[in-house]
Amino acid sequence: MSKKKVPKRILNNPRYLAMQALVKIESGDAYSNLLLNELIASHEIPDVDKGLFTELVYGTTARKLTLDFYLKPFIKNMKKVDQWVKQLLYLSIYQMEFLDRVPDHAILNDAVEIAKAYGNQGIGKFVNGVLRNIQRSELPNTNEMTNKVKRLSIEASMPEWLINKLIRQYGFETTEQLAFSLLKPAKSSGRLDLKRITRNEAIKQLEEQGLDVEKSEVSPYGVVASKGAFAKTWLFREGTLTVQDESSMLVAPTLELTGSEKVLDACAAPGGKTTHIAQLLDDGAVTALDIYEHKVKLIEENAQRLGLSDKITTQIMDAQDVAQQFAPESFDAILVDAPCSGLGLMRRKPDIKYNKSTQDFKELPKIQLNILESCAKVLKSAGILTYSTCTIVKEENEEVVEKFLKNHPEFTLMTPKMNEKMSGYIKENLFQILPQDEFTDGFFISVFKKN
């Protein structure tokens, strides 16, 4: 990318920062959600522009294949266009086609100014010419496409191989619903410590701070906001509330804790489920593991903010080595929220759609099964082991469960503990929620009891 000194008025422009972020995401140097937080923290972005910046990065990433389809007819040789120029054009087309609140002339002016400041006058003229040509013309239409998979791939911006994979498991109609649902923005949701506050009390206090909040229908611990940020509230700062997706809140209660258990969270970072487990305990304790030191620190930070450090012990450890590090029957309950492809998170992390390959579905199930095998040995008799993932494919979910049960006849598959509404997503004792079902993250949960 350019080494040219860029004027300060451009440096903090949300469109310029969005272009920078999109280049890093495209190159695989950063995950969208982490990069956004980093750029917002390191630049003087006015509060009024933070929403636009976030919308541009997530929206452009989520619709990347659609935007590329729109742009190609207006450029003779895409291969010769620098990556930063492509991303500037993508985010400009995204604004013109999918955002109503910004007039086209403002979009074009900003794009040309950024192109000249970051590149040169020639690139500025090129960007201006392309965008004005698009403004005057009709964009290419998918209506003439006869291959319904290719058409869905362009319209919903999902790679064809992934669409075909999901069709084989769920059928075309469900896959179509899933793909388009990912283009809608994610909900803001938070988990409450119900030992410290009721949902009604929390909603009243959050509304006083300007949030538009209601009870989650997915989890009895959750609240959902259509307006406002939970992380800016004093309930968050004092540790009564933490940000967590609704479907993720369903996991800890499936361990059916009574309060005094010794629990292992084998793949714990960043600590959302670990802290939920700790909140369900009285005099019990949680041992939380992660393979990376910086991720273990995230667990510790979360535990400290929520006032749960006395109940949580962290260790740097590969969960596949649990049986070598702990004595047999060390724990009353174990959570394996396994490393996975993360396809259930595609709404919240749209770059996942483009970064996975068929190889992931060969390697990850081996790791998942290894972790389960290792954890099974350190669970006490009559103990509960919950296996969960934030993915939606059978290789990482149903097939792992099937192999584990085949290898371990001493375990019985139980019905996960859920409220009445969520119980509707349980089939053959396995819970699977898709991103379009309740507009949460896609999630899988299975529960085993050691006989």
Q: In this predicted structure, what is the pLDDT of residue 190?
A: 97
Q: Is 3.40.50.150 the CATH number for 247-450?
A: yes
Residue with tokens 């630049």: 43
Residue with tokens 């714990």: 268
Q: Which CATH architecture has domain 8-136?
A: Orthogonal Bundle (1.10)
User: Catalytic annotation on 340?
Assistant: no
Burial degree of 444 (CB within 10 A; 0-12, 13-18, 19+):
buried
**pTM for the full predicted model:** 0.94
Q: In this predicted structure, what is the pLDDT of residue 299?
A: 97
Q: Which of 267, 340, 375, 390 is catalytic?
A: 390
Total number of residues shown for the chain: 451
Q: How far apart are CA 350 and CA 64, in angstroms?
A: 9
Q: In this predicted structure, what is the pLDDT of residue 160?
A: 97
- DSSP secondary structure string, 188-248? EEEEE-TTT--HHHHHHHHHHTT-EEEE-SS-TTEEEEEES-GGGSHHHHTTSEEE--TGG
As beta bridge partners, residue 213 has: 225
Per residue of the chain (451 residues), what is the pLDDT tens digit?
555 677 777 877 889 989 999 998 888 766 666 677 777 766 667 777 788 888 999 999 999 999 999 999 999 988 899 999 999 999 999 999 999 888 899 999 999 999 999 999 999 999 999 999 999 999 999 998 999 999 999 999 999 999 999 999 999 999 999 999 999 988 899 999 999 999 999 999 999 999 999 999 999 999 999 877 899 899 999 999 999 999 999 999 999 999 999 999 999 999 999 999 999 999 999 999 999 999 999 999 999 999 999 999 999 999 999 999 999 999 999 999 999 999 999 999 999 999 998 899 999 999 999 999 999 999 999 999 999 999 999 999 999 999 999 999 999 999 999 999 999 999 999 999 999 999 999 999 999 999 9
Q: In this predicted structure, what is the pLDDT of residue 225?
A: 94
Q: How far apart are CA 10 and CA 120, in angstroms?
A: 14
Q: In this predicted structure, what is the pLDDT of residue 169?
A: 97
As beta bridge partners, residue 333 has: 263, 384
Write the CB contacts of 83 (distance below 8 Å, at least 6 apart in sequence): 1, 23, 26, 27
| Domain locations along the chain | 8-136, 148-181, 188-243, 247-450
- Inter-axis angle of helices 47-62 and 14-27, nearest 10: 40
What tokens does 381 get?
């008799």
Q: Are 136 and 34 in contact (CB under 8 A)?
A: no
Mapped to the 3 state alphabet, what secondary structure does 87-136 carry?
Answer: HHHHHHHHHHHHCCCCCHHHHHHHHHHHHHHHCCHHHHHHHHHHHHHHHH
Write the CB contacts of 192 (distance below 8 Å, at least 6 apart in sequence): 199, 202, 221, 222, 223, 235, 240, 241
Q: Is 3.10.180.10 the CATH number for 188-243?
A: no
